[in-house]
Amino acid sequence: MEKTDDQWRQQLTDNEYRITRQAGTEPAFSGQYVNNKECGVYHCKCCGEELFSSTEKYDSGSGWPSFYQPKNNTSLEEIKDSTHGMTRIEVRCPACEAHLGHVFDDGPQPTGLRYCINSASLDFEASGK
């Protein structure tokens, strides 16, 4: 999916644009889905791609929605990120390359992974809608 910068700016709020298109990060514990316990599916805010299921969401205590794997083993784009004096793995939407967050190897089993995702990069659809 390709859109111009102006098209993304028209579609997204300033904060959503900063996070998804400029690889920003929302402050810990500030996102709308940090404490969401509803059953459903999390979609990419930019393109609607299904990314995560509530069944793989857990409370990591990190301040961001955390998942131990993407929905149905969706292949997220992974990019080495050496910003802010750290080496991390950035994860992006496979359909529109929106910045979602980062993946770390300190999550629970069965994967041992923690996908630490910005709420502003997600839309949530509760089950039954």
pLDDT digits over 46-104, tens only?
A: 999 999 999 999 999 999 999 999 998 778 999 998 887 888 999 999 999 999 999 99
Q: What is the DSSP letter of 61?
A: S
> Which residue, 52, 11, 54, 43, is CA-closest to 124?
43
Instruction: Domain 5-23+41-126: give its CATH code.
Output: 2.170.150.20
3-class state of residue 57 by DSSP = strand
Q: In the prediction, which pLDDT does 84 show?
A: 77
Count Cα neighbours of 8 within 13 Å in the Cβ-side half-sphere: 22
96 is catalytic: no
Q: Which of 46, 93, 96, 116 is catalytic?
A: 116
Judge if pTM exceeds 0.85.
yes
